[in-house]
Amino acid sequence: MFKVRATVTGYGKDESKGPCHMRLRIGDEITFDGETVAGRVCPNMLPQLSQAFNALFASGGRHKEGEIPGSYYPFWHSPQSLYDPAYKKYDGVGFRPTLERPEEGYKFVADETLFDNPPGGKFIIGKGTEKNDIKLQCGDSHTFVQFKVEAFDMADRGDALPYYRRAMTILSKVSGKPGIAMDKIINEFTRDERDNIYPSLGQRIVAVLAGELELLRYVDAKDDKVTITDKGKKKLESFIKSLTAEEKKALKL
């Protein structure tokens, strides 16, 4: 899941003759971090920006024509959960995985059980570093204010926070073993760490989160061999500094 930014890039017409009534200037930004929107949003652009933010939050810009961006969510590979404040030191929110609910006939099997039905009935494990931005234009024909919308980092707020933390712990494991095979990363976690921290880990969600790290150039993943980059080292260092002593201990960082 990704932070998204919309930047005013220009005007389709002479702004001095047909001024933007929001007084948006070139370089003005609107950002979404997974929880809050920051910046001045023209109500005329709200529907377009919401749609673009939603798509890039999910896929980071990797979705191709005909694909549903929400199919990229790591959420689909997660188990059901309950709110338990004692678990906040792990995921930052306080979700406790519930791998079995006998009264509901529910049992989570990593890489097999989907949390729910993905849109279109399929899910996508995004790989690669190609990400597209989205170009938007205000419908006001007097000015035609233009925007570029792009994913620029991993979302670390709201519902995205547990997945962000899992991605950072994956980054930590990769840091310790440069060139580790993608399907061996999960072995760096104990059974308890795999199952009892939300989201629980299977090979698919590890690949989904590693794919997000790769898209942002925090890791290189060539031939499914994963290596942390210099950019990734700085990101990991910053993340660890942001944690409390209790959280570092819980996450073994």
- Summarised one tens digit per residue, pLDDT across range 123-164 is 999 888 899 999 999 988 888 899 999 999 999 999 999 999
Please state the length of the chain. Answer: 253
Q: Please enumerate in sequence order all residues whose Cβ is within 8 A of that of 206, keeping only pairs 6 or more positions apart, or say none.
A: 170, 182, 185, 186
Q: Average pLDDT, whole number, for the chain?
A: 93
For the chain, list the domains and their CATH numbers: 2-61+132-154 (no CATH), 84-103+157-251 (1.10.10.10)
Segment 68-120, tens digit of pLDDT = 999 999 999 999 999 999 999 999 999 999 999 999 999 999 999 988 888 87
* CA atoms of 40 and 95, how far apart (whole Å): 33
Confidence of residue 58 (pLDDT cuts 50, 70, 90): very high
Three-class SS state of 135: strand
Quick check: pTM over 0.85? yes
Which residues, other chains included, contact 188 with Cβ-Cβ below 8 Å and sequence gap of 6+? 173, 176, 177, 180
pLDDT-based confidence at residue 13 (cuts at 50, 70, 90):
confident
Tell which wins on pLDDT, 117 or 244.
244
Residue 145 identity (one-letter amino acid) = V
Long-range contacts of residues 28-33, Cβ cutoff 8 Å, at least 24 apart: 29/5, 30/5, 30/6, 31/3, 31/4, 31/5, 31/6, 32/3, 32/4, 32/5, 32/57, 32/155, 33/3, 33/155, 33/156, 33/157, 33/158
pLDDT of residue 153: 97
Tell me the pLDDT tens digit for each residue of 214-238.
999 999 999 899 999 999 999 999 9
- Please report the DSSP string for 40-100 in residue order: ---TTTHHHHHHHHHHHHHHTT-PPTT--GGGG-GGGGPPPEEE-GGGHHHHSS-EEE--E
Question: Taking residues 232-250, what's their average pLDDT?
Answer: 96
